[in-house]
Structure 1
Amino acid sequence: MAETTAGAAAETGADLPRGFRSAEQGWPELHRIPRPPYRLPLLGDLLGASGSAPLQNAVRRGRQLGPVFRLAAFGREFVFVWGAGVVADMADESRFAKHVGLGVANLRPVAGDGLFTAYNHEPNWQLAHDVLAPGFSREAMAAYHPMMLDVAGRLTDHWDRELAAGRAVDVPGDMTKLTLETMARTGFGHDFDSFERARPHPFVTAMVGALSYAQRLNTVPFPRLMRRAARRNEADIAFLNHTVDELVRARRASSGDGDLLDRMLHTAHPETGERLSDRNVRRQVITFLVAGHETTSGALSFALHYLSRHPEIAARARAEVDAVWGDTAVPGYEQVAKLRYVRRVLDEALRLWPTAPAFAREARCDTVLDGVHPMRRGAWALILTPMLHRDPAAWGPDAERFDPDRFDPKAVRSRPPHVFKPFGTGARACIGRQFALHEATLVLGLLLRRYLLVPDPGYRLRVTERLTLMPDGLRLRLERRAAGAPVPPVPDAQDGPSAPRCPVRGAGD
């Protein structure tokens, strides 16, 4: 389960949005929604579930129970949806809005009313959105591009050293360094020196701690007993706040360069003239540093996993890079968008493993979901994106297979709307979507041009959950490639390259 109940939200100090009702109160005919046949007191439907993988537990249940189902835990009931038609109905902005609950509400002590964690009634969301949206325009993106290239160069220098030493690379760890540095450099003019450190930057350690604590709050019956973990979480939040406060203090003492931080500090709303408060600036910076790099690092990691397991797909993507970029040492901003097949690889990785794996929607008014399920105003449901992205009704009977051609323009036009939602939906969808896609496509192109990716034949994909998803323990060996050189075959992986399956079904890819 990836978002929080009224009780958990209250325990973290979060204010509940007006009209909030728990799932039990907000679904008049809850008994009509399928649930597991056997339940235990207190535990509800958690028998046999993994406390560290609640999202994957819910996905397993969804396969058994259908596109709308309910699960109980610790005396509360939650409604989940994943069917393409139901999700399309919930994408109707006139009837549904973002719901801040579960793990997202648990992050409010960290990010408060930042863009990701603000309740719909809080005014700072619209203010920050309007002030910061120009920071993701085409002109702004082109200005970020040289800094993205510079950080990517630090990654390839690091990988060259690992290759020379005969070591496999830590894909999730290195992608986290890459995306953190990219976000910090482009958005806030800061350098965490991630690639010069033997261990993760303390900011990353504190961030992972805060995300993991928020996740744990959803899976324990008595959060107030987690006193030691709560003290660690308070220390993690204090470190995040201190780091950002120092970053902002340094910027105020210097001249800016028109990045996101400058917009937060100096730009007024174009209509009202209102500015972000110092407290909200801190919350927005933390939001961008955490959410702006955590999900992109996961997307790159999953894409590199699938490319290593599918040498024929990697060869096709590499050939596109050679053809589009040619002998250009430094690809320009416009050249990245021309990597259409590489982008399909990224989209397909996000389809199978959307790194922000769930989002919640609440009813704006009394309504009927999909013409079947009555919902009162404030009732909410959690959309399981990995299941939506695997719905055979939208993606065909081979929906478990990794196939970038699903995102060929003709194939995209043949599918119904609202079946691909890795960045959420509606007015509260991810503001940095184009930033993330440009960065990830650029990095994949650079890595494919430079290296052959050799998988560990014994590796079985495991997915770790800390509100976002990340491959666990993924390491790859590299072979340096001369530009334009023929691509040798990659040794077959243990579970075969042609039919990746979802780990929640007990398989490896």
Structure 2
Amino acid sequence: MDGTKGAAPPALPKGFRSAELGWPELRRIPHPPYRIPFAGDLIGASVSTPVQDSLRHGRRLGPVFRRKAFGKEIVFVWGGGLAAELADESRFAKHVGLGVANLRPVAGDGLFTAYNHEPNWQLAHDVLAPGFSREAMETYHPMMLAVTERLMEHWDRSRSAGRAVDVPGDMTKLTLETIARTGFGHDFASFERTEPHPFVRAMVGALTYAQRRNVVPAPLAPLLLRGAARRNAADTAYLDRTVDAVIAARRAGSGESGGGAGGGKGDLLDRMLATAHPETGERLAPENIRRQVITFLIAGHETTSGALSFALHYLSRHPDIAARARAEVDRVWGDADRPGYEQVARLRLVRRVLDESLRLWPTAPAFAREARRDTVLGGVHPMRQGAWALVLTTLLHRDPEVWGADAERFDPDRFDPGAVRARPGHTFKPFGTGARACIGRQFALHEAALVLGLLLRRYDFVPDPGYRLRVAERLTLMPDGLRLHLGHRAPATPDGPRAEEAVSAARCPVTGARD
């Protein structure tokens, strides 16, 4: 195929089915050794960590490779130049597949899970985009502060009792409360609970089930996932009932949809209920509003909680960087008890810490792109219209040709403005790419920088010396079992931040490199 529309693909051997995948030259793309007929590349594979398995394979096989299991074959791409091609909106678009499609029973045609041809995506995007403007963000800022203060009260109690804090669990509570209050005027009372809110359990269950559907062969799913499918149906029904109740309370004008924080103040739910498209006059249908609320509650808390958790892990393991970031917070915020909106954006190093954490462990670890028309990727790999590839962000962010030979090392100064300008474009993609990239990116980054700034100013982070970073996969990535002890802030010395004892660095679970 020469890349022109309608060109005939090359002849394939009898029984060769790669053309069905839209990659006529699929056999040229390397795959792991020891492939088993029908079963595929299962030797040494882990059902619970498919992303980290793919990281290991990608290092050996190169920037384009494929994996197969039970007749399902996926082409992975991670090279910087190839990822830049796939980011070209004139040639490629978002592909909804794998675990994203598995979430459609929960989120339907919400912003994240809608197919490109479904009209509700563009309608919802245009209606909701003003909800993430600078003016809107300034109205969310006081609520973000209030939720973080509740977290710190909770952490103060743990510190006083000498208990370590459950970082992923508490970051999940924080980010769920933040998006629920700022977006929908709802209070889940997460910090008053000893167990996760049932809504959190249902969301985690839905994400985990979607991930399991990725690795279980479709013909065997009814047998192997029978119990899991029943639990997923119950989780989905609970999510629907909870969101329907929030919407009903708002429609009734009660202003008491779980606490009323933000209710009726022009938040995201108000926009969905009352705002028409500025050009067509269309409004979101009631069922789609429910799907959008579920989408924001899942996406708006899950990825941000992971980003904060990884950042806190790295700060605990790099006390010199934590001291620099803390000094920046002290300098920029001064004695202000509650920093203003503008002061958060001035935390340059704190933002670089977040970016570097998202580089090493982007909590959304991959995104799929499909060809808008027949094309050739990298001048070598022909793709038919509709053919797709999975951009493995976790490995794109470790490409040594882009990030250097020390790409495994945690170094926030990679995001110094000069270093950013010197790098090729489309090599840092924690929020996806193109028209379908995360609409709440600025919301998430502002929230995360505010939270890190407040926590740095209040605590020293003391890791468990025996802990080595483990990464749990449930469509998103999260540190597994991360607990930190909280030390009292010590005053700065005349020469700068106080010296810290060196802490032995953890090792990357994929490469064994120090993180």
1:186 counterpart residue number: 182
- Equivalent in 30, 47, 62 of residue 26 of structure 2: 30
Q: Deviation digits for residues 346-366 of structure 1, max 9, x if unmatched?
A: 000000000000000000000
Q: Indicate if the aligned counterparts of 1:23 and 1:79 stay in contact, CA closer than 8 A.
A: no
Q: Indicate if the aligned counterparts of 1:23 and 1:379 stay in contact, CA closer than 8 A.
A: no
Taking the aligned partners of 2:306 and 2:475, their CA distance within structure 1 comes to 12
Q: Indicate if the aligned counterparts of 1:454 and 1:491 stay in contact, CA closer than 8 A.
A: no
The alpha-carbon deviation at position 502 of structure 1 amounts to 2.9
Aligned Cα RMSD in Å?
A: 1.4
2:247 counterpart residue number: 248
Q: Indicate if the aligned counterparts of 2:319 and 2:503 stay in contact, CA closer than 8 A.
A: no
2:462 counterpart residue number: 454
Go from structure 1 to structure 2 and tell me whether the alpha carbon gap of 1:501 and 1:418 turns closer, same or farther (over 3 Å shift).
Answer: farther
1:505 counterpart residue number: 511
Go from structure 1 to structure 2 and tell me whether the alpha carbon gap of 1:73 and 1:23 turns closer, same or farther (over 3 Å shift).
Answer: farther
- Equivalent in 94, 98, 105 of residue 98 of structure 1: 94
- Equivalent in 108, 125, 135 of residue 104 of structure 2: 108
Q: Indicate if the aligned counterparts of 2:468 and 2:507 stay in contact, CA closer than 8 A.
A: no
- Equivalent in 394, 408, 412 of residue 386 of structure 1: 394
- Equivalent in 339, 360, 363 of residue 331 of structure 1: 339
1:402 counterpart residue number: 410
Q: Which amino acid aligns with 1:493?
A: V
2:436 counterpart residue number: 428
2:83 counterpart residue number: 87
Go from structure 1 to structure 2 and tell me whether the alpha carbon gap of 1:54 and 1:248 turns closer, same or farther (over 3 Å shift).
Answer: same
The alpha-carbon deviation at position 22 of structure 1 amounts to 8.2
The answer for unaligned runs of 5 or more in structure 2 is: 1-16, 256-263
SS of 1:504's equivalent in the other structure is coil
The alpha-carbon deviation at position 38 of structure 1 amounts to 1.6
- Equivalent in 493, 496, 505 of residue 503 of structure 2: 493
The alpha-carbon deviation at position 438 of structure 1 amounts to 0.1
1:118 counterpart residue number: 114
The alpha-carbon deviation at position 173 of structure 1 amounts to 0.3
1:12 counterpart residue number: none
The answer for unaligned runs of 5 or more in structure 1 is: 1-20
2:349 counterpart residue number: 341
Q: Deviation digits for residues 73-131 of structure 1, max 9, x if unmatched?
A: 11121100000000000001001000000000000000000000000000000000000
Taking the aligned partners of 2:265 and 2:409, their CA distance within structure 1 comes to 45
Q: Indicate if the aligned counterparts of 1:360 and 1:381 stay in contact, CA closer than 8 A.
A: yes
Taking the aligned partners of 2:410 and 2:20, their CA distance within structure 1 comes to 38
1:235 counterpart residue number: 234
The alpha-carbon deviation at position 46 of structure 1 amounts to 1.7
Taking the aligned partners of 1:178 and 1:63, their CA distance within structure 2 comes to 35
Q: Which amino acid aligns with 1:444?
A: L
1:413 counterpart residue number: 421
Mean Cα displacement is larger for which, 246-255 or 398-407? Answer: 246-255
Q: Deviation digits for residues 220-272 of structure 1, max 9, x if unmatched?
A: 12111111110000000000000000000111111611000000000000000
1:445 counterpart residue number: 453
Q: Which amino acid aligns with 2:250?
A: R
SS of 2:143's equivalent in the other structure is helix
Taking the aligned partners of 2:491 and 2:246, their CA distance within structure 1 comes to 40
Taking the aligned partners of 1:341 and 1:39, their CA distance within structure 2 comes to 46
The alpha-carbon deviation at position 493 of structure 1 amounts to 3.5
The alpha-carbon deviation at position 481 of structure 1 amounts to 1.5
Q: Indicate if the aligned counterparts of 1:401 and 1:501 stay in contact, CA closer than 8 A.
A: no
Matched, 1:172 2:180: no
Q: Which amino acid aligns with 1:218?
A: N
Mean Cα displacement is larger for which, 468-477 or 215-224? Answer: 215-224
Q: Deviation digits for residues 13-33 of structure 1, max 9, x if unmatched?
A: xxxxxxxx9874300111111
SS of 2:75's equivalent in the other structure is strand
Q: Deviation digits for residues 125-154 of structure 1, max 9, x if unmatched?
A: 000000000000000000000000000000
Taking the aligned partners of 1:23 and 1:247, their CA distance within structure 2 comes to 47
The alpha-carbon deviation at position 161 of structure 1 amounts to 0.2
Taking the aligned partners of 1:397 and 1:158, their CA distance within structure 2 comes to 41
SS of 1:421's equivalent in the other structure is coil
Q: Which amino acid aligns with 2:356?
A: E
Go from structure 1 to structure 2 and tell me whether the alpha carbon gap of 1:246 and 1:163 turns closer, same or farther (over 3 Å shift).
Answer: same
Q: Which amino acid aligns with 2:511?
A: R
Q: Indicate if the aligned counterparts of 1:22 and 1:379 stay in contact, CA closer than 8 A.
A: no
- Equivalent in 135, 139, 148 of residue 139 of structure 1: 135
2:221 counterpart residue number: 223
Q: Which amino acid aligns with 1:234?
A: A
The alpha-carbon deviation at position 337 of structure 1 amounts to 0.2
Taking the aligned partners of 1:394 and 1:507, their CA distance within structure 2 comes to 18
Q: Indicate if the aligned counterparts of 1:294 and 1:468 stay in contact, CA closer than 8 A.
A: yes
Taking the aligned partners of 1:483 and 1:294, their CA distance within structure 2 comes to 35
2:7 counterpart residue number: none
- Equivalent in 371, 392, 400 of residue 363 of structure 1: 371
SS of 2:74's equivalent in the other structure is strand
Q: Indicate if the aligned counterparts of 1:207 and 1:290 stay in contact, CA closer than 8 A.
A: yes
1:6 counterpart residue number: none
Mean Cα displacement is larger for which, 474-483 or 325-334? Answer: 474-483
Taking the aligned partners of 2:390 and 2:43, their CA distance within structure 1 comes to 21
Q: Deviation digits for residues 19-78 of structure 1, max 9, x if unmatched?
A: xx9874300111111112321133211211110001111111000100000111111211
Identity of aligned residues (%): 78
Q: Which amino acid aligns with 1:196?
A: E
- Equivalent in 299, 303, 320 of residue 307 of structure 2: 299
Q: Indicate if the aligned counterparts of 2:492 and 2:498 stay in contact, CA closer than 8 A.
A: no
- Equivalent in 16, 36, 41 of residue 45 of structure 1: 41
The alpha-carbon deviation at position 489 of structure 1 amounts to 4.5
